Chains A and B, each alone.
Chain A
Amino acid sequence: MSAQATQADQADFARALLAAHATPARLSTWNGSDVAQRFSVYRNNVIVSLVDALATAFPVVAELVGEDFFRAMARTFVRAHPPRNPLLATYGGDFPDFIAQFAPARGVSYLADVARLETACLQSFHAADAVPLAADDFAAWTPDALLAARARLHPGVRLLASRAAIVSIRAAHTGAGDLAAVDPSQPEHALVVRPRFDVRVLRIEPAMFAFLQSLERGWSIETALRAAMALEAAFRPQAALALAASEGVFVALEPGEPS
């Protein structure tokens, strides 16, 4: 058999695995039994294992729509968007965008954003380790130096804004809240942290979100505070820094240019 024919075999095999019904050419069985049935063992392994991987990564989405709906939706995704590399822990990064476009899920308008929050949690879980700054670490800075400084965020920090109550919905589905009391149409801002091993999801105010997002972009603390105060005149810088420090959001302060 020529090299080209061998190559065609794997292309054919891969296509057939992701198709609903197809069997590659040139397969054989020792006893003349149905090749399609035997080939379907491979297709089943591929599809089921990848759907399982998504079910593990998106437990709240699965619970929101029910197992049957979730698995049907995940199967459609897997066939259209198989993994790009063997790191299954990060598979499904584009599943939220797929959900947003998936017509049968349109009735659950917040589903894609809940999926984005679950992606953020998974990324946080696997992010690099770093030791967060403690409140004491800020004491050494003069107020002017602190304002000019830039704060480096912990690698496990993720920020997510939604038009839906994603933090409350997730909390209700992970046993930390009452779903009946949640108004899904309430916009919420999420802060995901993982100072050591445990991922935590906090609901934060829009001004705090603007503050942290500005810091994430590499802006100085002073500029970030201005962005927050533009949204909320009563924004309290001390309280914001204290909250961020207590949740392990910062890992370093870097001196900035004096203004």
Chain B
Amino acid sequence: MSQAKAHAAAQGVVAFPFFQALPPRAGVGLKAQHARALIEQRPNIGFLEIHAENYMGDGGPPHAQLAALRALYPLSVHGVGLSIGGEGPLDEDHLDRLARVIARYQPQSFSEHLAWSTHEDRYLNDLLPIVYDRTTLTRVCDHVDRAQERLGLRMLIENPSTYVAFSASSFSEEEFIGELVARTGCGLLLDVSNVVVSCANHGRDPFAYLAGLPLSQVGEMHLGGYARETDSLGAPLLIDNHGGPIEQSVWPLYIEAVRRCGPQPTLIEWDNDVPELGRLLQEAAKADAAARAALRGGRAA
């Protein structure tokens, strides 16, 4: 038993395994169809990630499965519905629901998106783009401050995948994220696939984008699949669909990110056409191997 565990046991608070933070290894998203196999086989992965909104019902099988798995794995709670970038005030009812999920499952990490999804009382179920200007920056900082205050934790904010830009934007995306992190003290969830997708969609160099981010504040990474389309001029238009294995073009950027940030908890995001658990675990093993290769190559300054 580790010292931390022994200490927790002495305090009588071992409802769940005691971890300060997610381990710097690959994890997978929890899918209902994999819950039984995960409980029975207990594969050696770093953590599980859930979408907070899927566990806001009162009871039933989702909570029973998650409670069983929470006793076996560290947990990341990832929100998709807080609408941090929304023009209106944060939905306090939704913050209350998030607080309940966090109190119930004591995750090692909570993250949300640099995006909006709710306008007035309509929830649009997508991560929609924001204007990168001073007005928006002030508003997003207020929202992150409020969320961190209400939830009593330091949250991570994920860089988005986008398909259009706003003519009114006066910051680059990475500058905007840098300002947000500096002003609120939140961390960065670096979605490496989103960097590839957004840079392709806006004609930018993903390595230069990466270098412009506040990489010292990265607390987790995401890797996911995307689909390839073309825009009206025949240029690549990549669609972030989490519908397949990690694309080859993502791995060099991931290796660069690990060199710069050190190994990080890394989620394999495969949410559509979800494969068998074994296939998901293969992708997780690939991410762990890539991280090891990055470290063997030496850590860049």
Contacts and interface: CB of A to CB of B under 8 A. Distances in A.
Are A and B a genuine interacting pair, yes or no?
yes
Interface of A: 1-3, 5-7, 9-11, 13-14, 17-18, 26-35, 37-39, 41-42, 45-46, 49-50, 53, 82-90, 125-130, 155-156, 194, 197
A49 B59 CA distance: 24
A2 B231 contact: no
Interface stretch (B164-172, B184-192, B256-264): B164-172
A38 B231 contact: yes
10 contacts: A3-B139, A30-B204, A33-B231, A34-B232, A38-B164, A42-B128, A82-B122, A86-B117, A127-B59, A129-B63
Interface stretch (B21-29, B49-57, B148-156, B214-222): B49-57
Contact of A41 (B62, B91, B122, B163): B163
Nearest to A83: B123
Nearest to A126: B57
A4 B57 CA distance: 36
Contacts of A53: 125
Contact of A89 (B57, B116, B119, B167): B57
B292 interface: no
A42 B80 CA distance: 15
Contacts of B166: 9, 26-28
B175 interface: no
Contacts of B117: 86
B232 A194 contact: no
Contacts of A18: 122, 124
B4 interface: no
A10 B86 contact: yes
B60 A127 contact: yes
Contact of B168 (A1, A30, A49, A89): A1
Nearest to A27: B164
A116 B43 CA distance: 40
Nearest to A82: B122
Interface in B232-260: 232-233, 235, 237, 239
A17 B124 contact: yes
Given A27-B165, A34-B231, A155-B58, A84 B135 contact: no
Ordered nearest first, which 7 A-B pairs have the shortest CB separation? A86-B81, A126-B57, A34-B232, A129-B59, A14-B119, A128-B58, A33-B231
Given A6-B133, A86-B117, A126 B59 contact: yes
A1 B131 contact: yes
Contacts of A129: 58-60, 63-64
B298 interface: no
A39 B163 contact: yes
A152 B233 CA distance: 65
A162 B272 CA distance: 36
A194 B268 CA distance: 33
Contacts, number: 160
Given A6-B135, A28-B166, A32-B233, A86 B59 contact: no
Interface residues of B, number: 54
B65 to A, nearest CB: 9
B7 interface: no
A82 B64 CA distance: 29
A126 B168 contact: no
A28 B237 CA distance: 14
Contacts of B61: 125, 197
Interface string B95-115: 001000000000000000000
A130 B63 CA distance: 13
A126 B62 contact: yes
B53 A41 contact: no
A91 to B, nearest CB: 8
B164 A87 contact: no
A10 B116 contact: yes
A26 B129 CA distance: 13
A46 B126 contact: yes
Contacts of B276: none
B163 A38 contact: yes
A127 B59 CA distance: 5
Contacts of A14: 119-120, 122, 124
B231 A31 contact: yes
Most buried by A among B124, B163, B233: B124
